[in-house]
Structure 1
Amino acid sequence: MPLSFAFAQPAWAYVDPSVMTYTIQALAGVAVALSAVAGVAMRRTRKALLKALNIDVNRNKEVEADVCRIDPETGKPVKSETVGAAAQAPCKAPGKARDRRYAPGWKTRIPLALVTSTFFVFTLFVVAPYEIVAASAGSVFFSLNDVWQPIAVVAAAMIAALACLLSLLRGRAFNLALLLVFGIGLGCYAQALFLNGGLPPSDGHSITWNDYRRPMVVSGIVWLVLIIGPLQLSKVNRQRTQLGAAALSLALVIVQGVGVGSLFTNAATAGTSGDKAVVTEQGLYDVSSKKNVVVFVLDTYDTQFLQSTLQAAPDLLDDFKGFTWYRDSLGSMIPTRYGLSFLLHGQYPQPDEDFGTYLNQRYKRAHFLQDVQNLNFSTGIYTDTLGTQFLSDEEANSLVNSKTINVHPASNTITSWNSTLKALAKCALYRDMPWMLKPFFWFYTDEINQATNADNPDIDPANKPYIMNDAGYYNSLKQRGLTFQENDDQYDGAFRFIHMTGTHWPYNLDENGNDIGLHNANLTQQARGCMKPVQHYINQLKEMGVYDNTTIIITADHGDWYLTENPLEKVTVPYMLVKPAQSAELDSQPYKVSQAPVAAEDVLPTCIKYMGGDYSTYPGYSMDEIPEGLQRPRFFNMTLDRDAKDYKIIQYEVNGDSLDFANWKLTGVSWDVGEGSKAKGDHD
């Protein structure tokens, strides 16, 4: 869902923490220097191994004994006379050999410590978060230009502190600490560049880490070599090892610096939140006194989840008077990065078009938001997965942002720098640490967005980003309550589209909608808890006297699903609850169940109908007009995944009850997903 800043388009939201940008080409520039260092290291390693194995290369060779002349007066050895063409070295007097170990002074220790500390901190706490943020443009509301300065300031302080600490050490302690810092930095660099293949996405689902034993062993061995190797080389020649570590550190800082520089020239990271459109909370707690159409999208909430939850809590839908539960429903596309935006544009990919073309054209072919604007409804869209990253800024503003009251540039979007920097550091550690340590730094994409914002009611909603946090939204609803929108007399109604976490992993809600911490809840608790804010919203509408004039659709972007590179093995069916604007008598009746075959494509025409518009041009139907027993072919597109990356979309046709997998058939239509089809960091 909605930094992989691993870092990941309920963040767009999958964060890919293993990205290492533009370093391969830069490595060529230092190849000669690195090869020289490697040559020295190999020669020194050979000597160290010969010594450790007690191998004498002169064994069985005839060597003349040293010849020394003794001064008869002093009895001490003196320089011998030349024997043949070679002069014999002077003999040493018996006694303890002099310790010739290298012990640099502070004038040497400071630059060595500074360069090595810079490499370590720059690699782990600058490059990693920079690349994660840049790669997560679709799942976080801020850009690299918003956060680079605080990160740089903190990193500079860390470098200074670490360099001072290392410089205070002397002799063996200095050598050990210096080379450990260098080795760990080198391990982080190698991990991000070579060893993160198959890294699990940060989409919130539970990870079985035992399945990753092989990469754990491989990365563990590599890390041991990179850390112990320099220490062993220093036993042969401490001075050259320290100088070599400093030289390699400087070279890799330059290499990574080139990659970081390229991030700032990328158009996707240009601009700050001050001039970039942000989904804000403006209008989130407002409704119209005349007519309302409200769509709640509870991520991943499957019809099967609702069925099982009702068995545990039969009173779950008691407050949902006047609703119809369409049990035979079907989604559009999976996962969120495709299914969520579909509920705003209603466009399927065409069989003969490139999938990248579809991503660029889907909003251009749509007219729903324009129709809503023409009907003089204020539009508030609250989600982290708009899917406009495949458009130019001008196109996104023209087709989507300008049609809303809440998607616009905002200022001071990050209100809690302390927790933001902690969240980014956690992402960096997850990306750069060896596999065996990654479980300790695993993160969920939404954690990044949630960490950036302090719960301050004094912040202007127009400058406060919308962050998916069901417990936080529920608390705000209870504290603030709903009000009638500003300039209510200028509009004929209000359209609100609210994307919530729903039953997406990881579960953190109890049955009362309270946040009890990630992974501390079960599915039933989550399914009950995420309905609490919706229930409270409905009760507020009743208290305000506008419930009868409000059409409410409660659905999901997709149902239960799983990462796979093979066709589906079970159904995935988002739930669908609908209450049209109707009489008070109908609104007082308990919810009913319908077997009418509905689909995600029916959401938009249903909205337009109850706004009073013409919905005949839409491909779907108004759901209250679909009879039970209608023989209706419906289509669903499934994303196949390989190594945590989309690679193909396959199409199913469903004829009959969507809960019966026997009714699901592959059509043979598919689309290859190119590298650019999924922006890194996209919400799952």
Structure 2
Amino acid sequence: MLTFLKNHIRIYLLLPILLFFCTPFLTGLQTYFTNIQEFSAPLTFIFTLWLPLLGLLIFCLFFLMHFLSDKLRTYAIALITGIATLWWIQASLINWDYGVLTGVPIPWEAYRIRLILDTLLWTGGILFFLRSAHIIRKNLAFICLTLLSAQLIMLLPHYLEARKFPPSFQNFSLSEEGKMDFNPKKNIVIIMLDAFQADIFQEIMDRHPEYRDYFEGFTWFRNTTSQYSKTYGAVPALLTGLWYENHMPVQNFLQESFKNSLSTRLTREGWMTHLYPVAPRIIGYDTAFASNIIMNTNPERNARDAGKMMDIALFRSSPQFLKPFWLNDMRWRIQNHMGAAFIRESSEEPAHEKIHYFHPVLQFTAESQSILNAGSKKPTFKFFHFNIPHEPFVLNPALQQERQPGNREGFLTYSMAALEAVHIFIEGLKRTEIFDETLLFILSDHGGGEYNPGVGPAPGLPHKKGDIRPKHHASGLPLLMAKEFGATGPMQTSDAPASLGDVPPTIAAKLWPDRKNPYEGKNLFELNEDEERTRRYLYYEFSGWEQHYLPEMKEYSIEGHAFSPASWKATGRTFPPAYTGKTFKSNGASLPEEILETYCFKNTHPEGILLEGWSGPEPHGTWSERKKVRIRIPAETDETLKIRMQLAPYTCGGTLESQRIILREGQNILRKWFVDKKEEYIFTTAGMKPGPEKEIILELELPDAVSPSACGSGKDGRLLGVNISKLCIEKITAEVEPGTSLTFGYGQAAEAISGMGWHHPEAKHRWTGGQASLIFSLAEKRKRDLRLTLMAHPFLYTDITEQSVLVHVNGVETAEWKMAQTGWYEATIPSDLAEDTMEILFSISHPASPADIGVSLDPRKLGMAVYEMRLEYED
């Protein structure tokens, strides 16, 4: 038998065939692990689906090659080995960047050089392998095993990284049972039209006034601002009323924030709640969060994800002339076939009769006409989210498939299709006589800045330039229309200063008028057009995204009409990811960032962290309510830790500039802070000793704490000092090697060691506020004094001709600089303070905001600008 197998079954053929099929599959797994938040399908499903299919394909090719002549077989081996090798080179070594595939068409004509290079590589590569066919056959085992081993080694770190942040949504699915069931007495519906831009709506109304008849009873809040520029931040903010600031992994935030979301609160009160986001990852998952979240997986959805994984793998691995085939006009090639093979059966509609719609919004309109009913015995809350008018623009206003041009006109036409779909739904509500019993919001998550549509003028508003880029501005202009219970009459337009963040408090005000509103923001229906209000907007884009956190976000404040660029001001604050998993090295500093624990105090109290003196949790955090409060820091390691606390002061209606904090451990005073705005206050545990319970107990003394009732700004009798919204515990892994210099410009080495109190870095320097710190460990420790030298200049104004800068090292004052001009300033750090971990705190005597003293519009409080730092041992 063995002799027969050896003579007749050519086992060696398995090696190139395995390489041929495993190369794209391993590329797909790498895509899966590096983008795990994009995939609903669990890894077990991926293997269960693809391994049998790969086994079948391997057997078929093995069978075919087995019967080739020896000469043809030699060339066939060379060909498939060459293609597999070129696949690997294309995906792993070349891997052209075409941007984030969000639906925007790829301008292939702009990549002609890549097309030429790919064509030359593949033509030359295949010819080379064919000409070397006999050599390849002799060395087949070495070539195949080497390439397979290299791919497995490259895959391993991506797998280990993905295991750190497993997505919870892979264990759940969203049931569509009762999707179109409504209550005859009370319903709340939010329809989110992704990327619908406010000025586009204005243009549609101007061109086609008949559209106003679609929305009788509605108020269009024209002067509305987005909270975020992208969906991943906007949807959680809308449903939970909470801001995500990159303070913890985004999936952790979703799980925490959705514990008190609109749907969770309504589910607890007996409502039927349904959430239908456009992507699974953008909401939190628990059966308590919504009625349609169930503990099982959706085979059709998982199959589509498994197909998309291979589509992306083949897109990466193929030369440019084949990439459009796999992309399939942004619909992907394998994904749709996989989904169709896994249609679930339901009692109402057998799988073989289920209609496949070109776009989800078409299914929505069909269901609005056929199965929408008022049969629910419970009041209902529905959140419908559709990827329209998000790119690609693929429908016309008659809701027929028709590709629209990728410009403002195409964007507008596709937006009209979105309005037609909503109109069909509204007609369904009217037909079932529940329109009057429905509180209805038609809105978008953000504008379409990514498509560069520009921003049209608002009627009656002068166009003034501002310091916001058109792309950032357009993304900040969402659609927002709302209809109260029982509202009738023509559509109204309001220019009251609204925000998407006003939707949760509006719903709460309508449902629970006698309760304290659990959400920040204002009731939309009580806003006045002449009201002065500052709104907030965070802009980010998916460039260099690390997936576990959002990319760095830039904060804007808006005062005035949203359509006017002059109303938008950059605050200077940014929110970078708290963890990237990368190591940065530059000019003697390195930072492999690592967060051990993150605790959030918005609407929740992590057990055992806040001890005596703290109030109950609120939407924006937890207030201290005594002059002295205590906090517990878990310290499982003897290493020095970095502690970040997000604090905001109580200013007694603006009569207090700041709250003083004296931080103590026992009788030892560790730090003194002036908390004058919401910011991270950072310190280290250097010199502190964890107790037997592996914890550090700290006391915060708040001498300026005062009650709102005492200062006439409310009836609250609590002694409010500071509000804490988060606490992070990190390892200190940033190192500085004595004898090197660190520069403070944007992207420079000093970013790795910057602690609290720094503004966003600029081209060559970085401004401090009133206090700023540097935190790092010494790469080399000697029993000698250190010399710290800083190149800086002070912020001087009117009567302030010099700034006094106190320098504390690990809590001990070591120098005082009289800073009157740009120059080098020096301090000696005694050897007994030059510990392994160092915290250098700069306290500037008279920081001020250029806006407050009338020299510019810059709202930042500035102390000194730092250019460079040198640290070296004394001779």
TM-score by length of 1: 0.71
Q: Displacement of 1:461 after TM fit?
A: 9.1
CA deviations over 1:217-274 (Å, ceiling 9, x no partner):
444454445433333334xxx2x4213234321333344456778888865898999x
- Aligned AA (1:128): T
SS of aligned partner of 1:593: strand
Assess, with a 3 A threshold, how the Cα gap between structure 1 residues 271 and 596 changes in structure 2: closer, same or farther: closer
Quote the RMSD (CA, aligned, Å): 3.9
Query: Which residue of 540, 543, 549 corresponds with 2:431?
Result: 543
Task: Give the aligned partner of residue 616 of structure 1.
Answer: 517
Assess, with a 3 A threshold, how the Cα gap between structure 1 residues 561 and 593 changes in structure 2: closer, same or farther: same
Q: Could you tell me how far apart the structure 1 residues matched to 2:69 and 2:249 are?
A: 62
CA deviations over 1:176-231 (Å, ceiling 9, x no partner):
22211111100111222121152332210111123334444444454445433333
The residue correspondences of 1:517-596 to structure 2 (distance < 5 A) are: 522-562=410-450, 568-570=469-471, 571-572=473-474, 573-582=477-486, 586-587=487-488, 589-596=489-496
SS of aligned partner of 1:435: coil
Larger displacement relative to structure 2 (446-455 or 177-186): 446-455
Q: Could you tell me how far apart the structure 2 residues matched to 1:158 and 1:626 are?
A: 64
- Aligned AA (2:533): R
Task: Give the aligned partner of residue 394 of structure 2.
Answer: 508
- Aligned AA (2:270): N
Q: Displacement of 1:304 after TM fit?
A: 1.9
- Aligned AA (2:139): G
Task: Tell me if 1:253 matches 2:148.
Answer: yes
The residue correspondences of 1:117-132 to structure 2 (distance < 5 A) are: 117-124=17-24, 126-132=25-31
Query: Which residue of 60, 63, 84 corresponds with 1:161?
Result: 60
The residue correspondences of 1:8-407 to structure 2 (distance < 5 A) are: 107=7, 110-124=10-24, 126-234=25-133, 238=134, 240-257=135-152, 267=163, 276-349=171-244, 354-356=246-248, 360-361=252-253, 364=256, 367-369=260-262, 370-385=264-279, 387=281, 396-397=284-285, 400-407=286-293
- Aligned AA (2:75): L
More helix by share: 1
Task: Give the aligned partner of residue 368 of structure 2.
Answer: 477
Query: Which residue of 504, 507, 517 corresponds with 1:604?
Result: 504
- Aligned AA (1:368): S
Larger displacement relative to structure 2 (434-443 or 656-665): 434-443
Task: Give the aligned partner of residue 324 of structure 2.
Answer: 439
Q: Could you tell me how far apart the structure 2 residues matched to 1:377 and 1:462 are?
A: 26
Higher relative contact order (CA 8 A, sep 6+): 1
Task: Give the aligned partner of residue 648 of structure 1.
Answer: 552
Assess, with a 3 A threshold, how the Cα gap between structure 1 residues 668 and 463 changes in structure 2: closer, same or farther: farther
Are the aligned partners of 1:204 and 1:506 in contact in 2 as well (CA < 8 Å)? yes
Which structure has the bigger radius of gyration? Answer: 1
Q: Could you tell me how far apart the structure 2 residues matched to 1:476 and 1:192 are?
A: 42
Assess, with a 3 A threshold, how the Cα gap between structure 1 residues 298 and 567 changes in structure 2: closer, same or farther: same
Larger displacement relative to structure 2 (620-629 or 509-518): 509-518
Assess, with a 3 A threshold, how the Cα gap between structure 1 residues 214 and 341 changes in structure 2: closer, same or farther: farther
Larger displacement relative to structure 2 (210-219 or 377-386): 210-219
SS of aligned partner of 2:185: coil
Task: Give the aligned partner of residue 626 of structure 2.
Answer: none
Task: Give the aligned partner of residue 51 of structure 1.
Answer: none
Task: Give the aligned partner of residue 54 of structure 1.
Answer: none
Assess, with a 3 A threshold, how the Cα gap between structure 1 residues 121 and 361 changes in structure 2: closer, same or farther: closer
Q: Displacement of 1:149 after TM fit?
A: 2.2
SS of aligned partner of 2:380: strand
Q: Could you tell me how far apart the structure 1 residues matched to 2:39 and 2:404 are?
A: 20
Task: Tell me if 1:497 matches 2:390.
Answer: no
CA deviations over 1:8-52 (Å, ceiling 9, x no partner):
xxxxxxxxxxxxxxxxxxxxxxxxxxxxxxxxxxxxxxxxxxxxx
Assess, with a 3 A threshold, how the Cα gap between structure 1 residues 443 and 670 changes in structure 2: closer, same or farther: farther
Q: Displacement of 1:432 after TM fit?
A: 1.1
Q: Could you tell me how far apart the structure 2 residues matched to 1:308 and 1:406 are?
A: 37
Q: Displacement of 1:133 after TM fit?
A: 4.3
Are the aligned partners of 2:186 and 2:380 in contact in 1 as well (CA < 8 Å)? yes
Task: Tell me if 1:636 matches 2:537.
Answer: yes
Larger displacement relative to structure 2 (242-251 or 175-184): 242-251
Assess, with a 3 A threshold, how the Cα gap between structure 1 residues 358 and 112 changes in structure 2: closer, same or farther: closer
Q: Displacement of 1:416 after TM fit?
A: 10
Assess, with a 3 A threshold, how the Cα gap between structure 1 residues 202 and 248 changes in structure 2: closer, same or farther: same
TM-score by length of 2: 0.56
Are the aligned partners of 1:117 and 1:163 in contact in 2 as well (CA < 8 Å)? yes
- Aligned AA (1:672): P
Q: Could you tell me how far apart the structure 2 residues matched to 1:675 and 1:413 are?
A: 33
| Corresponding pairs, count | 546
More strand by share: 2
Are the aligned partners of 1:345 and 1:362 in contact in 2 as well (CA < 8 Å)? no
Instruction: Determine what percentage of the aligned residue pairs are the same residue.
Output: 19
Assess, with a 3 A threshold, how the Cα gap between structure 1 residues 192 and 462 changes in structure 2: closer, same or farther: farther
Q: Could you tell me how far apart the structure 1 residues matched to 2:156 and 2:254 are?
A: 33
Q: Could you tell me how far apart the structure 2 residues matched to 1:259 and 1:524 are?
A: 45
Task: Give the aligned partner of residue 588 of structure 2.
Answer: none
Assess, with a 3 A threshold, how the Cα gap between structure 1 residues 111 and 179 changes in structure 2: closer, same or farther: same
Assess, with a 3 A threshold, how the Cα gap between structure 1 residues 312 and 504 changes in structure 2: closer, same or farther: same
Q: Displacement of 1:633 after TM fit?
A: 0.9
Q: Displacement of 1:282 after TM fit?
A: 3.0
CA deviations over 1:556-615 (Å, ceiling 9, x no partner):
111112289x96334221111110113xxx42x111111111101101111112223536
Where structure 2 has 5 or more consecutive residues not aligned to the other structure, the ranges are 453-466, 583-875
Are the aligned partners of 1:281 and 1:462 in contact in 2 as well (CA < 8 Å)? no
Assess, with a 3 A threshold, how the Cα gap between structure 1 residues 146 and 669 changes in structure 2: closer, same or farther: same
Q: Could you tell me how far apart the structure 1 residues matched to 2:275 and 2:76 are?
A: 53
Task: Give the aligned partner of residue 596 of structure 2.
Answer: none
SS of aligned partner of 1:522: helix
Q: Could you tell me how far apart the structure 2 residues matched to 1:556 and 1:312 are?
A: 21
Task: Tell me if 1:663 matches 2:562.
Answer: no
Q: Could you tell me how far apart the structure 2 residues matched to 1:174 and 1:374 are?
A: 67
- Aligned AA (2:448): D
- Aligned AA (2:299): T
SS of aligned partner of 1:669: strand
